[in-house]
Amino acid sequence: MDRRRFLAGVVAVAGPFAGVACAGARGGLRPAAGYGPLKPVADLRDGKVRLHLPDGFRYRSFSAAGEKFSDGSTVPGRHDGMAAFAGPKGGTILVRNHEVAGPVGAFGDKDAAYDPMAGGGTSTLHVTGHGEVLRSGPSLNGTMMNCSGGPMPWRAWVSCEETVNGPDVGNDPSGGDNSRLTRRHGYLFEVPVDGVASARPIRSAGRFPHESAAFDPSTGAVYLTEDNFSFPSGFYRYLPPRHPMREGRLLDGGRLQMLAVDGVKRADLSRGQRAGASYATRWVDIDDPDPRFTGRPPYEEAVQAVGRQGRAEGAAIFARLEGAVFHQGVVYFVSTQGGATAPGDPPPSGFGDGRGQVWAYETWSGRLRLVHESPRSSVLDLPDNVTVSRRGTLVLCEDGDGDNYLRGLTRTGEIFDFCRLHPIPDDPGAEFAGSTFGPGGLTLFVNVQAKRGRSFAIWGPWERGLF
């Protein structure tokens, strides 16, 4: 897609949800029928039930952890963020993250790895709309905790490391011995759709636990979320030195900024919000986006080094920012544990006591609006990755404590269940991740992050409902 065609889809008017004061906030829920009740459906791959879907929908799983890529190397686990691009002969190219922690060694060709001791990265798969794999292989390796990222219109995927591990940082409680690592982590990496990554980090975009990246074609800014599990998180934007759509890539050497509420220092937006919450905002500069540590500070200190700079200048506080997507001039992003404590639901572990919020940042006005705040886990339980359908409905992946769903949030503020993950007896922590519609919107691709994670292609009568 060229720049003119891409910009044609961007409108300088209020996007979806503009008329919604605060869908579902503090209990004001408008449920939707969606596509109807969910029932167990057999996987066309092997006949096993892995998903519950509405009547008429089918799916096939593919590229599970432990299987082989086309080049004979082994598919790593922890499938996470993902994007879909048009491929040859009507096919689809998927670029998929692997959120592998610890110095476990790189998958694929270790000579091409950014850090041969790190086990995360991305894989690229050529598939049909029904999940049949035509070709697959590693496309970035030697990175760590590649959680999510974002698709770029010059046919690239920006992959985000959700960590600041490295040989200069004390051990991450969940990540193993950092002294075994050979490189610093916590960066963005660009992965071309039609090749393999150069494994050069975008250092000026910050060294912090990145989650997602959403690109605004009108300005060239990349909006970034931070998932700092135990501490406050921030909403950032990276302003590259030259417009990426003119360069055909994302350049290092730009400026990193963090969002603040105008007139309120360190506004705490992680807590429960009033219905219709809306804020004027400003941006504060991060003077040292790529801090170099000496003396191996504790991980708990290093992981806050960038965010503390922004909050010292008044930046706003969120609870675990995860998925983000750009649509019609608006960046929608998810605060996984934002909101008021839900009655009857125990507070989740980590920073934030709520069951989730969905925010909308209007890039043309600088206005921040709350779209949805979950009143209880049965409505929405710890939303994570997010994508958008052709009709402007958001698809939210849950990372909850019980049953996990794919839920839809419509332009008019209605929320509905679309898919439920069938229980995995030996893996209660399994979750949905990486939802993305293929070209034309006829197939929804999604990952399940589990002990033996895998990807799915889902198709059916989309015209019958709200996607």
Most confident of 2-6, 175-179, 257-261: 257-261
Instruction: Give the tens place of pLDDT for each residue, 303-355.
Output: 999 999 999 999 999 999 999 999 999 999 999 999 999 989 988 999 999 99
462 φ/ψ angles, rounded to the nearest 5 degrees: -60, -35
Where exactly are the structural domains of the chain?
A: 3-464
Please determine, for residue 147, whether its predicted confidence score (pLDDT) is greater than 70.
yes
For residue 55, count other CB atoms closer than 10 A to its CB: 13
Instruction: Give the tens place of pLDDT for each residue, 14-29.
Output: 445 654 444 444 444 5
Query: In the prediction, which pLDDT does 8 show?
Result: 31
Query: In the prediction, which pLDDT does 27 show?
Result: 41
Instruction: Give the tens place of pLDDT for each residue, 373-420.
Output: 999 999 999 999 999 999 999 999 999 888 999 999 998 889 999 999
Query: In the prediction, which pLDDT does 110 show?
Result: 95
The pLDDT confidence band at residue 454, using thresholds 50, 70 and 90, is very high
Q: Residue 437 forms beta bridges with which residues? A: 444
Instruction: Please give the radius of gyration of the chain, using alpha carbons only, rounded to the nearest integer.
Output: 20
Distance CA 384, CA 320 (A): 9
Distance CA 202, CA 140 (A): 14
Six token digits for residue 241: 């030195």
Query: In the prediction, which pLDDT does 108 show?
Result: 97
Contacts of 249 (CB under 8 A, 6+ apart): 154, 156, 190
Six token digits for residue 53: 């879907």
Of the candidate ranges 28-37, 166-175, 247-256, 415-424, the one whose mean pLDDT is the lowest: 28-37
CATH number of 3-464: 2.120.10.30
Whether this prediction's pTM lies above 0.75 is answered by yes
Query: In the prediction, which pLDDT does 321 show?
Result: 98
For residue 427, count other CB atoms closer than 10 A to its CB: 14
2 φ/ψ angles, rounded to the nearest 5 degrees: -85, 170
**Mean pLDDT score across all residues of the chain:** 93
Bridge pairing between strands 414-421 and 30-31: parallel
Instruction: Give the tens place of pLDDT for each residue, 25-57.
Output: 444 455 667 899 999 999 999 999 999 999 999
Residue pair 140/149 in contact (Cβ under 8 Å)? The answer is no
Query: In the prediction, which pLDDT does 173 show?
Result: 87
Query: In the prediction, which pLDDT does 10 show?
Result: 31
Query: In the prediction, which pLDDT does 12 show?
Result: 30
- In sequence order, what E strands does 166-221 have? 188-192, 210-215
Residue bearing tokens 């309120």 = 264
Bridge pairing between strands 188-192 and 222-226: unpaired
